[in-house]
Amino acid sequence: MSMFRNKMVLATSAIGTLIGGTILLKDRMQGAAFEKSDIRADGKVVIITGANTGIGKETAHALARRGAHVYMACRDMKKCEDARQEIVLDTRNPQVYCRECDLASMQSIRQFVKQFKAEQQRLDILINNAGVMRCPRTLTKEGIELQLGVNHMGHFLLTHLLLDTLKLSAPSRIVVVSSLAHTRGQIALDDLNSARAYDEARAYEQSKLANVLFARELARRLEGTGVTVNALHPGIVDTELMRHMGIFNSWFSGLFVRPFVWPFLKSPLYGAQTTLYAALDPDLEKVSGQYFSDCAPKEVADQAKDDRVAKWLWAVSEKWTGTLTGTAAVS
């Protein structure tokens, strides 16, 4: 009997140590918090794309708490409204708005900007956050491969249409949520639209590299305007982003993969910290063309420093989004 009791005590303390250790590890893996948490954003007008879930929702929440006027630019109005109500209830800031913006449709983006400009004279912070990862090959309304279309091209058009307002509101900021995945990315100069060959992971990595190339090229073009643009990696964050990756959504993964991966994932709250840092830290007011991770500057991959590719991508993006002509032409 006493041997049985000893075994029980041993097993209980082993389980306790395992749980305690896992929680401690999880805590350590959350990464840096944006330290200047008392910084207010009262009256600042902010647009956040993909603000109804994950990192975008936490970013919207934190900015609303700091007093900003937050425009949640989302595709799904029902989910957006649910998130908005949660944020307003918690922050008591009524200046949080849901607006439809499907980044897979140029017409939707143009309509969003038209409505926004009819309501607001200024824009202090634009946060290009929305993203889709490793989905099966799908096309946007204009025929652009979805990951490139939403993660890069849609944001390219959105930013372009808002530049005049951002310049008038200077000092103002553009924050581009990229990813560490850009380090594995290559821009397929001969098959940008993945028409000949499609690989879900490669298309995501290409789109995230495009984010960094875009941020750096735009920063160069905006020199002297008072509008800054920086890109970032939010960390590996526990969000719905992996919804298309079957391995992470099966019962098998729920039982045998997730428990082991969970301690190493940031919560969405911590995933939003580097975005908040880039959007609000006063020390970054004149910093542009940089890349951040864990609330600190970080070197980008060599292929993200290739100015010739950045210029090529810029020219193609202008053509495919119709920023010069008003009519998108994908080829």
Ligand X SMILES: NC(=O)c1ccc[n+]([C@@H]2O[C@H](COP(=O)([O-])OP(=O)(O)OC[C@H]3O[C@@H](n4cnc5c(N)ncnc54)[C@H](O)[C@@H]3O)[C@@H](O)[C@H]2O)c1
Residue 218 and residue 55: Cα distance in Å, rounded? 23
Give the SS3 label for residue 165: helix
Q: Is residue 215 near ligand X by the rule CB under 6 A?
A: no
Q: Is residue 106 near ligand X by the rule CB under 6 A?
A: no
Q: Is residue 230 near ligand X by the rule CB under 6 A?
A: no
Among 62, 68, 70, 104, binds ligand X (CB under 6 A): 104
| 204 annotated active-site | yes
- Minimum CB separation of residue 131 from ligand X in Å reads 3
Residue 46 and residue 72: Cα distance in Å, rounded? 9
Is 146:132 a contact under the CB 8 Å cutoff?
Answer: yes
Among 45, 55, 174, 316, binds ligand X (CB under 6 A): 55
Choose the catalytic residue: 71, 97, 204, 291. 204
E strand or H helix that includes residue 81 = helix 77-91
- Minimum CB separation of residue 12 from ligand X in Å reads 35
Query: Footprint of ligand X on residues 239-268 (CB under 6 A)?
Result: 239-241
Give the SS3 label for residue 18: helix
Residue 174 and residue 138: Cα distance in Å, rounded? 28
Taking residue 146's Cβ as centre, other Cβ atoms within 10 Å add up to 20
Q: Is residue 53 near ligand X by the rule CB under 6 A?
A: yes
63's CB contacts (< 8 A; 6+ apart) are 41, 44, 46, 48, 70, 125, 276, 279
Give the SS3 label for residue 1: coil
- Minimum CB separation of residue 80 from ligand X in Å reads 8
Among 129, 147, 206, 293, binds ligand X (CB under 6 A): 129
Nearest alpha-carbon partner for 199 in 209, 189, 186: 186
Q: Is residue 102 near ligand X by the rule CB under 6 A?
A: yes
Count interface residues toward ligand X (CB under 6 A).
29
Q: Is residue 313 near ligand X by the rule CB under 6 A?
A: no
Query: Footprint of ligand X on residues 138-157 (CB under 6 A)?
Result: 150
Q: Is 3 exposed, middle or buried (0-12, 13-18, 19+ CB in 10 A)?
A: exposed
Among 75, 134, 173, 216, binds ligand X (CB under 6 A): 75
| Interface region with ligand X, contact rule CB under 6 A, candidates 64-72, 127-135, 191-199, 306-314 | 127-135
Tokens of 156: 């390219």
DSSP 30: T
| Nearest CB to ligand X, comparing residues 131 and 289 | 131
| Interface region with ligand X, contact rule CB under 6 A, candidates 27-35, 84-92, 117-125, 229-237 | 229-237
Site residues (vs ligand X, CB under 6 A): 49-50, 52-56, 74-76, 101-104, 129-133, 150, 177, 179, 233-234, 236-237, 239-241
The set of catalytic residues is 204
